[in-house]
Structure 1
Amino acid sequence: MNRLWLFLPLALAITLGMVLYFGLGQDPSKLDSALVGESVPDFQLPLLQTPEQQVGSEVFSGKVQLLNVWGTWCAACRVEHAQLNKLAEQGVPIVGLNYKDERPAALEWLEQRGNPYSTVIYDPEGSLGFDLGVYGAPETYLIDTEGVVRHRHVGVVDQEVWESDFKPLYEEYRDDS
């Protein structure tokens, strides 16, 4: 029986190695979302620029658009912002979700870097972000004309991600409407 205890550290090391091997081999930008195929959760939150005005999930009906989760505290959001401005210039509608941020800092950010968003929802407590299953910023969702989440990307949306992941779906759902 005492000899079996000698193999316990080896068995634990092998188990830990397998967990790390399979866990670290995953692409974090390909995280599944329970909301893909589901409607955007109901919510009522203020707009960033006009806090007295509330907006809800109806903002996602009628056209195919992106929902981009961002914050001034997010370094990767700085990298992504130029691409979002470019997409907006090309006519891609983008709703911004300013996530767990300070209103003055977010307003200054948009003033300095440009505003690619047709609407900016202010979510200082992260309530909508929580309902969406947001892990952090940036995250971007493709929402169809009925307000249904069709795709989710965790991380920076650069030109390559737009071309390979979003553009084909954007065009497909836009053509279906």
Structure 2
Amino acid sequence: MARLKLFIPLLVFVVLAVFLMNGLKRDPNAMPSALIDRPVPAFSLPVSGGEARLVDQGIFLGQPALLNVWATWCISCRVEHPYLNKLAGQGVRIIGLNYKDDRAAADKWLAEKGNPYQINVIDADGRLGLDLGVFGAPETYVVDRNGMIRYKHVGVIDDRVWKQKILPLWQQL
């Protein structure tokens, strides 16, 4: 019996090693979303650019779109923004969700850095972000022509992410 007690630390080590090895195989940007295959949550929010109009989830009906959550305070958004401009130039429809940000700062950012967004929705208090399950910016959702969320990407979209993860799905839409 005393000899069996000597193997307990080894057994614990093996179990922990198996869990850690399994964790190393996972993508740290893969954040599951309960909204996959569900409609974009209902909302009514203003748009940027000095317009005094409200938009709702109906903006996603009719053609597929990327819903890009961004903010001027987000360092990673600065890295991602030129690539979004490139995608928009190639005809990809992108809807912006300016998340918990200052509206004037967002308008200035888009004027200076280019505006890849067909529509930029202002979510100043973060309610739509909360409904979407946003962890932080940037996050991007692929939304089909029926307003259904088909994919969620947490982090910067770059050429690798676009070609390997989003473009194959985008082409199916």
Partner of 2:162: 162
Q: 1:52 deviation in Å?
A: 2.0
Instruction: Provide, for residues 41-97 of structure 1, a one-character-per-residue CA deviation record: whole Å limited to 9, x for no partner.
Output: 000011122352100000000001100000000000000001000000000000000
List, as ranges, runs of 4+ consecutive aligned residues in structure 1 with deviation greater than 4 Å. 9-25
Does the 8 Å CA contact 1:28/1:154 hold for their aligned counterparts?
A: no
% of aligned pairs identical?
A: 50
Q: TM-score w.r.t. structure 2 length?
A: 0.87
1:13–1:166 Cα change, 3 Å: same
Partner of 1:105: 105
Q: TM-score w.r.t. structure 1 length?
A: 0.85
Does the 8 Å CA contact 1:68/1:138 hold for their aligned counterparts?
A: yes
Residue identity opposite 2:74 in structure 1: C
Runs of at least 5 residues in structure 2 that lack an aligned partner in the other structure: 1-8
Higher mean C-alpha deviation, range 141-150 or range 17-26: 17-26
Runs of at least 5 residues in structure 1 that lack an aligned partner in the other structure: 1-8
Residue identity opposite 2:132 in structure 1: L
Partner of 1:37: 37
**Aligned counterparts of 2:172 and 2:93: Cα–Cα separation in 1:** 15
Residue identity opposite 2:30 in structure 1: K
1:48 match: secondary structure: coil
Q: 1:11 deviation in Å?
A: 9.9
1:139-150 aligned within 5 A: 139-150=139-150
1:144–1:23 Cα change, 3 Å: same
1:2-81 aligned within 5 A: 26-50=26-50, 52-81=52-81
